[in-house]
Structure 1
Amino acid sequence: MNKKGLVDEVAKYTGMTKKDVLEIIDAITRTIEKSVGKGDKVSLTGFGTFLSYERSGRIGRNPRTGKTIKIKAKKVPKFRAGKGLKVNL
């Protein structure tokens, strides 16, 4: 399911307009992105937790040339599924 499909389903389920649902979904995703970007954890009970973690630097290899390269450490987003989501899969 893509974003349009999600908007359609939520609009059908709630009886809201697709425009209103789209605004709400956009606001939720922006808020999660902003919070996780600052290093905060966003927990939705029964669904899951969005967080960021530091991926350590490592040595990699350029697949084209085979040359060894150094990959810098960086922060990356992570999602951990909650119990409710795991049970429903």
Structure 2
Amino acid sequence: MNRSQLINELAEKTAISKKDITTILDAFTEMVAEKTKAGDRVFIPGFGSFKPRLQTSRPARNPRNGDVIQLTPRTIVHFKCASLLLEKMNK
């Protein structure tokens, strides 16, 4: 499911306009980015949590020419599903 499909499906299941859903989704994305950039964990009960994680420097291979390069350390966002979401998926 992509972004536009998510917006359309949420609009169908709720009485909220696509424009308002887009605004909410943009605000949510921005808020998660701000909080994880600050080093905070964002936890949504029943859904999961977004947590910043430091990815260390490591070697990688360029698939086009096979050259080995060294990737610089960076912060990534790790998502962990809540157990309730996993239970609903596996019913």
Counterpart of 2:43 in structure 1 is 43
Where structure 2 has 5 or more consecutive residues not aligned to the other structure, the ranges are none
Counterpart of 1:14 in structure 2 is 14
CA distance in 2, matches of 1:61, 1:18: 42
TM-score, normalisation: structure 2: 0.82
SS at match of 1:40: coil
Q: Does 2:5 correspond to 1:5?
A: yes
SS at match of 1:88: helix
CA distance in 1, matches of 2:69, 2:88: 42
- Displacement of 1:62 in angstroms is 3.9
Which amino acid is 1:78 matched to? H
Where structure 1 has 5 or more consecutive residues not aligned to the other structure, the ranges are none
The 5 A counterparts of 1:45-60 are 45-60=45-60
- C-alpha distance 67-14 of structure 1, shift in aligned 2 (>3 A): closer
Root-mean-square deviation over aligned CA pairs: 1.7
TM-score, normalisation: structure 1: 0.84
- C-alpha distance 88-66 of structure 1, shift in aligned 2 (>3 A): same
Paired positions, count:
89
- Displacement of 1:69 in angstroms is 2.9
